[in-house]
């Protein structure tokens, strides 16, 4: 009588099955990695996608990310849509995960995108400031709504030809589908975006590319991740006589003072 029995039940941590498909590494540091996500790949497992995501590739090359953040979203601190290509930063340590998560929430990370749109805005530079929320009837879509969350997007026309234009866009906020919704709202949907525009014979996907990403690490160093658009984007731009800008190198930009 009076004996105490202790039972240690191990807690199983759900792990993703590594996918050894290649990853295009732009920058690598002990605390983070910057990769070029191909179009057509989902960031992490979700409804209808249990394998073959970017997360599965990450845990194959960087197994330590298994312990960073959510088990199904290891190290992932921001999202790119399935059809969107380009730069994304991933944390390799829990400390960097918290640092980057706060930096995104505080809008300290600058992102620039390249996109081809239908028509051309009248002004060479402009700001779209309109709240975004769930579409009232199509629940998988987003829309500009009076009760949505504040959203702000800055754009610059880089080139135009005929009925299309090449834009550089900087989202100030980070709402779901923000760039796609805002471009459609001003009458210039992204070419190939059948959700917020219409199907286009010039593109098999939404021509949206995450071009550059500026961020600071935990020591105060500033990094630039950058990658040129993929071949399908380049082919479409060339066929439309749109000149793409030169892409800078991914690099350490500044050290702490």
pLDDT for res 255 = 84
H/E element, 226: strand 222-226
Give me the architecture of the 110-212+229-248 domain, per CATH.
2-Layer Sandwich (3.30)
The model's confidence at residue 198, banded by pLDDT at 50, 70 and 90, is confident
**pLDDT of 41 over the 50 cut:** yes
- Out of 81, 106, 214, 232, pick the active-site residue: 81
- Reply yes or no on whether 81 is catalytic: yes
Tens of pLDDT, residue by residue over 46-86, are: 867 778 899 999 999 999 999 999 999 999 999 999 999 99
**pLDDT of 1 over the 90 cut:** no
- What are residue 56's phi and psi, to 5 degrees? -65, -35
pLDDT for res 2 = 56
pLDDT for res 162 = 86
What span, in angstroms and rounded, lies between the C-alpha atoms of 134 and 143? 6
Give the SS3 label for residue 145.
coil
- Domain spans, the chain: 17-106, 110-212+229-248
The model's confidence at residue 15, banded by pLDDT at 50, 70 and 90, is confident
For the domain 17-106, what is the CATH superfamily, name and number? Pseudouridine synthase (3.30.2350.10)
């Amino acid at each position: 009588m009076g004996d105490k029995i202790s039972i240690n039940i191990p807690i199983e941590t759900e792990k993703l099955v590594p996918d050894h498909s290649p990853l295009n590494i732009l920058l690598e540091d002990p605390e983070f990695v910057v990769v070029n996500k191909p179009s057509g790949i989902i960031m992490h497992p979700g409804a209808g996608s249990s394998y073959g995501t970017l997360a599965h590739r990450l845990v194959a090359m960087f197994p330590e990310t298994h312990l960073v953040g959510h088990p199904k979203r290891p190290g992932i601190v921001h999202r790119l849509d399935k059809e969107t290509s380009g730069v994304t930063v991933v944390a390799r340590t829990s400390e960097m995960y918290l640092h980057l998560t706060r930096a995104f929430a505080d809008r300290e990370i600058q992102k620039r995108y390249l996109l081809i749109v239908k028509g051309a805005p009248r002004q060479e530079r402009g700001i779209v400031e309109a709240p975004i929320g769930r579409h009232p009837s199509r629940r998988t879509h987003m829309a500009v709504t009076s009760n949505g969350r504040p959203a702000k997007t800055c754009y610059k026309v880089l080139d135009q030809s005929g009925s299309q234009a090449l834009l550089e866009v900087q989202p100030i906020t980070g709402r779901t589908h923000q760039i796609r919704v805002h471009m459609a709202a001003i009458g210039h949907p992204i070419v190939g975006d059948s959700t917020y525009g219409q199907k286009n014979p010039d593109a098999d996907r939404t021509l949206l590319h995450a071009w550059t990403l500026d961020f600071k690490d935990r020591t105060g160093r500033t990094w630039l991740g950058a990658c040129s658009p993929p071949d399908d984007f380049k082919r479409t731009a060339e066929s439309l006589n749109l000149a793409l800008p030169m892409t800078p190198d991914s690099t350490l930009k500044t050290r702490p003072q």
